[in-house]
Amino acid sequence: AQRVTQPEKLLSVFKGAPVELKCNYSYSGSPELFWYVQYSRQRLQLLLRHISRESIKGFTADLNKGETSFHLKKPFAQEEDSAMYYCALDNQGGKLIFGQGTELSVKP
Amino acid sequence: DAMVIQNPRYQVTQFGKPVTLSCSQTLNHNVMYWYQQKSSQAPKLLFHYYDKDFNNEADTPDNFQSRRPNTSFCFLDIRSPGLGDAAMYLCATSSLFGQQETQYFGPGTRLLVL
């Protein structure tokens, strides 16, 4: 079955510390993976997608097919990064399967 | 400059009383989606429209229906809400239906069933 797993419900770090939000997936085909973010009192929005291989707000994510992972990383966390982060898998050309989300809290 | 609008933001209904949630978009996107997100759970796709073509997920209960009268509007009808249907309902749109497409989300409607 296609599934996205985010093992951490809450991740708390201090400002300036590195951040890694974990995402593992199970998918039989060629996966298309995304990270969506929801800041406090805002709507869910796309942060980045693996196909773009881009860095957004200092975040990067590398697809590791061997480990079936798509972890989100940032070398130096900022307080404004505090939000809910969802990893998502596109399983049929447009249908998203979301992980349960990880709440990132960046303390001053 | 809201692009995907959901009304109301909060909806209270009674057990068994039909309720309709609405979504509108100013993006002129072809695809509209409805997701259900229960407390501390992942958003789960209920169905989507590609233009006027309706696509139901296999495990979406029959209690949930949808209408899309035009490009801009999409409605979620819950015929007989149960306590288990209390959740956040998210509407999203995308320009096309495909793996490269970004989905744009509304703020959600939180449904409470009494």
B31 CB neighbours in chain A (<8 A) are 94
> Per-residue pLDDT tens for B23-78?
999 999 999 999 999 988 899 999 999 999 999 998 999 999 999 999 999 999 99
Give me the pLDDT at residue B96, please: 78
The pLDDT score that the predictor gives to residue B1 is 62
The residue with tokens 């409607």 is B109
Report how many Cβ contacts below 8 Å link chain A to chain B.
51
- Of A42, A96, A97, nearest to B103 by CB-CB distance is A96
Beta strands in chain A (DSSP E): 3-5, 10-14, 19-21, 24-26, 32-38, 45-49, 60-61, 72-74, 83-90, 96-98, 102-107
Least Cα distance to B55 among B68, B43, B42 occurs for B68
pLDDT at site B19: 96
Which of B103, B104, B109 is the best residue to mutate to test the A interface, defined by the most A CB atoms within 10 Å of its own CB?
Answer: B103
Q: Give the up-direction half-sphere exposure of residue A82: CA atoms within 13 A in the CB hemisphere.
A: 12
Confidence grade of residue B99 (pLDDT, cut at 50, 70, 90)? low
